[in-house]
């Protein structure tokens, strides 16, 4: 929702998120059907076109890391992205299921 509001404010028509259903850890906001529903709600709520893109939706963590490495961005992605559900950027807390998946994929 926050990204949709920001997109609206700056006149963007696309929000890109790194959610991934294949590594689903019990978090419903990572599912494809949730993202599609959120996209519909944002379009109706803001009364303008907006698309949520999920390029990693069907990749597992190992494939995501390989993609980052392919683009010479492995360290950038590792240090500056948020997977941790305790809000710790980078390698995270190391205790939550999302951090476990991130570490196993790396």
Digit-coded pLDDT (tens) for 46-79: 999 999 999 999 998 899 999 999 999 999 999 9
Between CA 51 and CA 82 the distance in angstroms is 21
Q: What is the pTM of this model?
A: 0.82
What tens digit of pLDDT does each residue of 13-32 get? Answer: 999 999 988 866 677 888 99
Per-residue b/e over 67-92, b at no fewer than 16 CB within 10 Å?
A: ebeeeeeeeebbeeeebbbeeeeeeb
């Amino acid at each position: 929702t926050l990204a949709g509001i920001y997109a609206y404010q700056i006149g963007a028509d696309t929000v890109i998120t790194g959610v991934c259903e294949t590594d689903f850890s019990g978090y419903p906001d990572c599912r494809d059907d949730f993202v599609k529903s959120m996209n519909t709600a944002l379009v109706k709520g803001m009364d303008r076109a907006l698309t949520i893109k999920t390029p990693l939706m069907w990749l597992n963590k190992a494939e995501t890391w390989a993609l980052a490495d392919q683009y010479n961005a492995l360290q950038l992605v590792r240090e500056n992205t948020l997977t941790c559900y305790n809000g710790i950027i980078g390698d995270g807390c190391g205790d939550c299921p999302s951090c476990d998946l991130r570490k196993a994929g790396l």
